[in-house]
Structure 1
Amino acid sequence: MLAKLFSFWRGEDAAGPLALYHAGDTEQAERAANERLASAANDRDALLTQAFLLADRGRGKDAAAIAERVLATNPRDAQAWLAIARAHSMAGRRKPASEALQAALLRDGNDATILADVALLALAEGQVETAAHHLSRARGNGRRLGVAHRELAAILLQRGQLQAGERELEHAIAADPRDALAHANLGALRKDLGRRDEAARSFERALELMPQLSEAAYNLAMLRIDAKDWPAAATLLRTYLAQQPRDAEAQYWLGNALMGQGDAQAARAAYEAAVRIDSHHERARWGLAMAQLPAIPMTVEEQQQGVLAFGEQVRKLRAWCRTHAKGDAWQAVGAQQPFFLAYVEENHAEALHEYGSLCVELMEGWARKVKVPKPAVRRAGAKLRVGIVSGHIQRHSVWDAVLRGWVAHLDPARFELHLFHTGGVQDAETRWAAGHVERVVQGLGDWTAWAKAVSDTQCDVVIYPEIGMDATTVRLASLRLARVQLAGWGHPLTTGLPTIDGYLSAEAFEPEGAQQHYTERLHALPRLGCAYRPYGTKPQAPDLSAWNIAPSDRLLVAPGVAFKYGPRDDALWVDIARRCAPCKLVFFSGNDAHARRLQQRLRDAFASAGVDYDASVRFLPWQPQPAFFALLQRAEVFLDTVGFSGFNTAMQAVECGTPIVAWEGRFMRGRFASAILRSLGLQAWVANSHEAYAEKVQQLCEDAELRAKVKAKIAAGRDALYEDKGSVDALATLLEKLAG
């Protein structure tokens, strides 16, 4: 036998029209009321349902007449008095509404629907505490009660009473789980409090209940952008823009999401739309310039045109900023960066000088506004105070290749190191660093706090190891926070910033005449320029059969991220697959749009050449280091990327004894693996043409004895590449010379 259901208000049928109305199901309530009245013209619940519906529709006079008809039969009917109050309230007649509510309260002071209306009226009159008191007594659920809790929450949040506001929103949802606005407001509050997962769930529920709730779509899109879920963000922003097409900020963020997806063409259209709506939207103009550079160009022509268009757009942007930009135009600096320019094998010094000069001009406006102090003069007799500003004081390629060796070997008797860790990740390497330097500064949040921290430290030299990889470092580097400011090869491309005095590279990386590739003074440290420390990782072999890689397949590991593979080199990978069959060219990817675009471009190239892509190519998920080491040990050849080499991956191949075929590019960023091989006396495996590269890979694949000799030579010489303290000593001498 089913338990009997009770309504939270008294005297009504829990399945009847009045209960349905109070629960918020107005359509079903009206249908049920009409059905009852057809057979019983004086049905009390049906009549009062009609009265409430009429009041909601602005027909207060008709609503009151029906309620009075019920009162004629039972003057103590609290719901009838509530209907009259509602009719007056909807017409803006507060005094008679209040009188009717008092009559309803007198007859049933515990009815949650009455208490809800009393609270709403109190809120309308500014009596917040009175409203809160009445709501604290209300028990049960219902649409009107949920609205009252939601309205009280809005006022509490405006007052800054966040905890109380959150509690009221939770009461609102408990009273009416289908209140989309309450879910959306709770999501907004939790987003502001940094509880992003909870916020996302609230926004998702709000949109399930009310798909047209544009504010929830926008807020959820911002969370998806924070999580780099670009497809979801783009979909949500398009939903929002369908209802709010004149929102320039939303168009701007849509452009960012589309760039994240690798769709530069659509991103440009979004940025252009933002500028049409708001011609002074500096960040959209900035984004439009950066969006000329596609992450994964599908053709050589698209890539080349992008470089030309970037230079032209930056020149236009700089001219526009000089005549039209407002005082806060500096906010655009770093919002997007020409990151993908580095992956085009050309000299970009001229274009980046234009870009860097624009960054500095805008940031100087901010510096004048807040009165950034001039850098301090070096203190006589004191240790040289060196600041290192990086988002990667943690296990990361920049830390592993460059920074760790500096921290380990710069003499603390001569240098006082201050690390400014602008990134959000902390790990064992972060903790190790803290024990080897004067201090590690972390968690300051906004970039302006970082600027103050660096300035207040009064460093003699500030080093930025990877300018161009995040917004904070490019903004800081565009300021003059120390008398001597240097960049490093963590992002191996000139910065173009007039505020950067020197660029730290390595003799082994740089071709003859390399100074012309830099706007800074080039300082090439000896050999590889770093004190690299091997990982010592124990390999752990993954199950290759899970990716349909057979024991008989020749394994060729291509370890670069997707945007390292330019379209002009697609034919090289096809040629290698043809020469070395049966083989598997192993690329790596996350579940990201860049990798998907590269896969499609490679598939098209293989098809055009009549080579079976599926028999020759595998894209594996990014592997944990033990599995990556096992793949390197299993591989016949490590395939260096063309034009933008990988230092850390090549050094890991050396540690595993894996034969490398290297490309020697025209610029430092394309010469890491070739420099390593030359240091080992293995220059025979360095190529500078597609034909030579493919021939060398084929030789190693086909000759096991030759591979064994190469492996032996790597094993015999690799220790000389590690822990090169002499390169750090050279850095120490350079720093003291520059600081004067």
Structure 2
Amino acid sequence: MPSPSPLQASRNVPALLDAAVRALEAGDLAEARACCERVLYLQPKNVDGLHLQGLVLCAGGESEKGLKLIRRAIAFAPRHAIALNNLGNILKDLGRLDEALASYDKALAVDPTLADAHYNAGNALRALDRPADAVGRYDRALALRPADAAVLVNRGNALGDLGDLGAALESFERAVAVRPNFAEGHYNRGNALAALGRGDEAIASYDRALALEPNHSTALNNRGIALQSAGRLEAALASYTRALALDATDAEALNNLGSLRHDQGRVADAAEAYGRAAELRPDLPGPGSNLLLLRNYTTELSPAEMLAAHRAWARHLAVPALPFPPRRPGRLRIGYVSADFRTHSVAYFFEPLLACHDRDSFEVFCYAAGRKTDATTARLQALAEHWVPIDRLTDVEVAARVRADGIDILVDLGGHTGQSRLAVFAHRAAPIQVTWLGYPNTTGLPTVDYRLTDAVADPPGETDPFHSERLVRLDGGFLCYRPSGAAPDVVPPPVSRNGFVTFGSFNHPAKLSDATVACWARLLAQVPESRLLLKARTFEDASTCDYHRDRFATAGLAPDRLDLVSYIDDPQGHLAAYGRIDVALDPFPYNGTTTTCEALWMGVPVVSLAGDRHAGRVGASLLHRIGLDELVAEDGDGYAALAVALAGDGERLAWLRAGMRDRLRASVLLDETGFARSIEAVYRSFVAA
């Protein structure tokens, strides 16, 4: 049979190119490659053949070979806008973002109506952390293709990067309006709604995304977070469980599961989940940091082992130190870093210092790492000379901002708690770095120089060896409390109207250690008809209540003597609930702090046990500041005996309750100005050292 003529062979080229395109779109790379090779055999300089073969090679993992072929095609046809656009896509996938952007711009110089190139340039700009420029490119793409849901979603994400959540939501809603069955649109709409605090709508949006794409693991995770925030813990558990069924190595899902179990007070289960997440992703500080926080709830690790665990975590954050410019003359510049500048335990103790700082000598910067804001945030912001939101900045960017601000002393208020920014301190953002207030243990970071405490919470010589920081003890105590202005009047002891004693605790369920449960059950057995009232946000979840009822029942406390109260949104109502308690019980080995101060302000005496570490001695420190050292025991038996004796002395209960507020007002615990001067003297000593 005679071979086809050159003219006939050339006529086959369009068909071969069409076949190559169909094969590439179908994922049949071998067929696509064979078609391209035939085209290039017939026409070695065929631009479309070179372009397609380059795409095929890149799709098969041979990116450098593919790039050469596409560039060769462009050399033959410099105005081939589609090839220039695809070259940009390949460069972007390789992380060569500046080159990719240049290629997109060349494509658009040839054809300004190429919507794909505008869209892809927007994606490259967003990856380059230029979200405002990205929005501009997405808008150009939408001017050409107004109903492109993918462009609308990425535009929404860029607006979210800019912090404009309202505009981001509007973009996502346009996306699902033009393409109702677009799972990614519903998922991102859910994210925006969740960030705006519209939890129920966010959950509905995640549900729609999952109905369209049941294996969307990030939607499952974020749906779980939204459900957990809404107190729907069983539904959240089901969402995380589904995510882990899809991928048992999903560190994010494991970390979220750990958070859920933590909220429920199931400490062992939480530790297992956090531990697995940390093993899978040791590069992520979150799971390991969460596990360290959890370790404070038990005494499974000795103080020395706790220090070793914190230092091991810190080694993952080791970065080279940079030199500092000379100190600026004038006032000392103090920076405070926290995710909790809102209605939160940290704010109750930070606000007095912020309000009473000597502004003639100190210039105060608040670096706000949290996205949740409320009336407390507004008050703190009004008190701060400089308010710097850092929630959307990387650790490197925050460290650079702190250096640019010329901060002399940078103070961490979070430690190993949620959304803390300890990695900023690992970068040695300031010449002097301090940790205080928010976390009851060492950070483990060699770049944090000092930890503020006191001689009761950390007896000299006893706990110093178990901290990576130098302990600095404040003479008047390391805490200053500002009571809520919403507090109702103190009421008489409820035993006077009930006829029975009510013990109580409003602490997080994770603080209800096995030793605490056993001790409380034992002491209630010694006080006939007494009851135990526990209050926590997660007691609105039935499974959490069942879990803790079973624990107390196993320890010997009948379920009908245990009252579990859930979250009370109204601050006055929350504080009024202390009026139902005769004697407050401090958990151990992780004491209460805000709950202890609230109970005392509402007139309720608190019995505490002094342990062998800071977390277990905060109660002793607080009671010492108000002259009630006699309510601190040294062991479990002494603790139970103190509580039983107090419960049986109605006159003393009434006397303590009636005079408690005056006692607090006269104490150093509420001396805001004195506390501020004490802290400032320490800051001056740091700079002078």
TM over 0.5: yes
- 2:452 corresponds to: 504
| Structure 1 residues 299-355: Cα deviation after superposition (integer angstroms, max 9, x where no partner) | xxx99x989x97xx99x96xx99xxx8xxx467686744211111247755445444
1:560 to 507, 518, 521: 507
- Say which SS state the counterpart of residue 424 (structure 1) adopts: coil
- 1:399 corresponds to: 347
Gaps of 5+ in 2: 1-112, 116-144, 158-169
Q: Tell me if 1:460 matches 2:408.
A: yes
What CA distance in whole angstroms lies between the structure 2 residues aligned with 1:333 and 1:581?
A: 44
| Structure 1 residues 511-569: Cα deviation after superposition (integer angstroms, max 9, x where no partner) | 24231232210001112234322224342899x99xxx993342212121101111123
- Say which SS state the counterpart of residue 498 (structure 1) adopts: coil
- Say which SS state the counterpart of residue 697 (structure 1) adopts: helix
1:213-228 aligned at under 5 Å gives the runs: 213-216=213-216, 218-225=218-225, 228=228
Q: Structure 1 residues 635 and 219, CA, compared in 2 at 3 Å: closer, same or farther?
A: closer
- 1:187 corresponds to: 186
- 2:148 corresponds to: 153
- 1:688 corresponds to: 634
- 1:569 corresponds to: 516
Q: Structure 1 residues 578 and 651, CA, compared in 2 at 3 Å: closer, same or farther?
A: same
TM-aligned CA deviation for residue 635 of structure 1: 2.3
- Contact kept, 8 Å, 2:488 with 2:576, in 1: the verdict is yes
TM-aligned CA deviation for residue 398 of structure 1: 1.1
Gaps of 5+ in 1: 1-126, 130-149, 174-181, 265-293
TM-score normalised per structure 2: 0.66
- Contact kept, 8 Å, 2:490 with 2:658, in 1: the verdict is no
What CA distance in whole angstroms lies between the structure 2 residues aligned with 1:593 and 1:259?
A: 19
1:366-385 aligned at under 5 Å gives the runs: 373-379=322-328, 381-385=329-333
TM-aligned CA deviation for residue 237 of structure 1: 5.1
- 1:204 corresponds to: 207
TM-aligned CA deviation for residue 387 of structure 1: 0.5
TM-aligned CA deviation for residue 588 of structure 1: 1.4
What CA distance in whole angstroms lies between the structure 2 residues aligned with 1:631 and 1:192?
A: 35
What CA distance in whole angstroms lies between the structure 1 residues aligned with 2:301 and 2:147?
A: 61
- 1:534 corresponds to: 483
TM-aligned CA deviation for residue 386 of structure 1: 0.7
- 2:474 corresponds to: 525
| Structure 1 residues 188-228: Cα deviation after superposition (integer angstroms, max 9, x where no partner) | 342465676656434423545x5xx3344642432332553
TM-aligned CA deviation for residue 439 of structure 1: 0.7
- 2:266 corresponds to: 296
TM-aligned CA deviation for residue 248 of structure 1: 6.5
- Say which SS state the counterpart of residue 214 (structure 1) adopts: coil
Q: Structure 1 residues 259 and 205, CA, compared in 2 at 3 Å: closer, same or farther?
A: same
- 1:256 corresponds to: 255
TM-aligned CA deviation for residue 596 of structure 1: 4.5
2:563 to 600, 618, 638: 618
TM-aligned CA deviation for residue 637 of structure 1: 0.9
What CA distance in whole angstroms lies between the structure 1 residues aligned with 2:481 and 2:240?
A: 45
What CA distance in whole angstroms lies between the structure 2 residues aligned with 1:663 and 1:161?
A: 52
Q: Structure 1 residues 478 and 657, CA, compared in 2 at 3 Å: closer, same or farther?
A: same
TM-aligned CA deviation for residue 643 of structure 1: 1.8
- Contact kept, 8 Å, 1:407 with 1:436, in 2: the verdict is yes
1:408-419 aligned at under 5 Å gives the runs: 408-419=355-366
- 2:553 corresponds to: 606
- Contact kept, 8 Å, 2:364 with 2:385, in 1: the verdict is yes
- 1:425 corresponds to: 372
| Structure 1 residues 47-71: Cα deviation after superposition (integer angstroms, max 9, x where no partner) | xxxxxxxxxxxxxxxxxxxxxxxxx
Q: Structure 1 residues 295 and 659, CA, compared in 2 at 3 Å: closer, same or farther?
A: closer
- Contact kept, 8 Å, 1:233 with 1:254, in 2: the verdict is no
Q: Structure 1 residues 527 and 170, CA, compared in 2 at 3 Å: closer, same or farther?
A: same
1:710 to 623, 646, 656: 656
What CA distance in whole angstroms lies between the structure 1 residues aligned with 2:617 and 2:483?
A: 20
What CA distance in whole angstroms lies between the structure 2 residues aligned with 1:573 and 1:161?
A: 52
- 1:639 corresponds to: 585
- Contact kept, 8 Å, 2:483 with 2:601, in 1: the verdict is yes
| Structure 1 residues 446-466: Cα deviation after superposition (integer angstroms, max 9, x where no partner) | 433433322321211100022
1:363 to 283, 303, 317: 317
Residue correspondences, number? 522
Q: Structure 1 residues 689 and 201, CA, compared in 2 at 3 Å: closer, same or farther?
A: same
1:344 to 277, 283, 298: 298
Quick one: which amino acid aligns to residue 660 of structure 2? I
What CA distance in whole angstroms lies between the structure 1 residues aligned with 2:634 and 2:298?
A: 16
- Contact kept, 8 Å, 1:376 with 1:460, in 2: the verdict is no
What CA distance in whole angstroms lies between the structure 2 residues aligned with 1:155 and 1:724?
A: 54
TM-aligned CA deviation for residue 504 of structure 1: 0.5
Identity of aligned residues (%): 20
What CA distance in whole angstroms lies between the structure 2 residues aligned with 1:708 and 1:592?
A: 30
Q: Structure 1 residues 470 and 340, CA, compared in 2 at 3 Å: closer, same or farther?
A: same
- Say which SS state the counterpart of residue 695 (structure 1) adopts: helix
- 1:235 corresponds to: 238
Q: Tell me if 1:495 matches 2:443.
A: yes
TM-aligned CA deviation for residue 694 of structure 1: 2.0
Q: Structure 1 residues 576 and 455, CA, compared in 2 at 3 Å: closer, same or farther?
A: same
TM-aligned CA deviation for residue 404 of structure 1: 1.4
Q: Structure 1 residues 695 and 452, CA, compared in 2 at 3 Å: closer, same or farther?
A: same
1:105-144 aligned at under 5 Å gives the runs: none
- Contact kept, 8 Å, 2:258 with 2:272, in 1: the verdict is no
- Say which SS state the counterpart of residue 262 (structure 1) adopts: helix
What CA distance in whole angstroms lies between the structure 2 residues aligned with 1:713 and 1:164?
A: 58
Q: Tell me if 1:476 matches 2:424.
A: yes
Q: Structure 1 residues 678 and 128, CA, compared in 2 at 3 Å: closer, same or farther?
A: closer
2:336 to 388, 392, 406: 388
1:82-101 aligned at under 5 Å gives the runs: none
What CA distance in whole angstroms lies between the structure 2 residues aligned with 1:168 and 1:714?
A: 59
What CA distance in whole angstroms lies between the structure 2 residues aligned with 1:571 and 1:155?
A: 57
| Structure 1 residues 702-734: Cα deviation after superposition (integer angstroms, max 9, x where no partner) | 221122233355355322221243332222121
Q: Structure 1 residues 239 and 674, CA, compared in 2 at 3 Å: closer, same or farther?
A: closer
- Contact kept, 8 Å, 1:421 with 1:441, in 2: the verdict is yes
Q: Which one is further off, 595-604 or 665-674? A: 595-604
- Contact kept, 8 Å, 1:187 with 1:199, in 2: the verdict is no
What CA distance in whole angstroms lies between the structure 1 residues aligned with 2:259 and 2:286?
A: 18
What CA distance in whole angstroms lies between the structure 2 residues aligned with 1:523 and 1:654?
A: 27
Q: CA RMSD in A?
A: 4.1
Q: Tell me if 1:664 matches 2:610.
A: yes
- Contact kept, 8 Å, 1:234 with 1:254, in 2: the verdict is no
What CA distance in whole angstroms lies between the structure 2 residues aligned with 1:520 and 1:186?
A: 47
- Say which SS state the counterpart of residue 498 (structure 2) adopts: coil
Q: Tell me if 1:719 matches 2:665.
A: yes
1:301-312 aligned at under 5 Å gives the runs: none
What CA distance in whole angstroms lies between the structure 2 residues aligned with 1:423 and 1:165?
A: 24
- 2:525 corresponds to: 578
What CA distance in whole angstroms lies between the structure 1 residues aligned with 2:149 and 2:364?
A: 48
